Amino acid sequence: MAFKGKVTIDREKCKGCGLCVEFCPRGTLELDKKINTQGYNPAVVTDQDNCNACGFCFLVCPDMVVEVEKIKEGSK
């Protein structure tokens, strides 16, 4: 069964290390050009529909600011 993912990143706690961006196999994430209140460029989701919920971004985040929700394809 195929899954889609919904990635949520706490942009105010993200320090913009870029690990999630580097390890995303589908290129779904990038560092934002806008800084957060901490002065960092946080990671953002560029194409939510491209996410397959692999969870690499969640696993490599040192600050635990990434959440991944698995959604069965075809369900809402």
What distance in Å separates the CA atoms of residue 14 and residue 7, rounded to the nearest whole number? 14
pLDDT recorded at residue 9: 98
Contacts of 51 (CB under 8 A, 6+ apart): 4, 5, 6, 7, 26, 28, 45, 68
pLDDT in tens, 5-54: 999 999 999 999 999 999 999 999 999 999 999 999 999 999 999 999 99
* Residue 4, pLDDT above cutoff 80: yes
> Helix (H, G, I), strand (E, B), or coil: what is residue 44?
strand
Overall number of domains in the chain: 1
CATH at 30: 3.30.70.20
14: domain range? 3-72
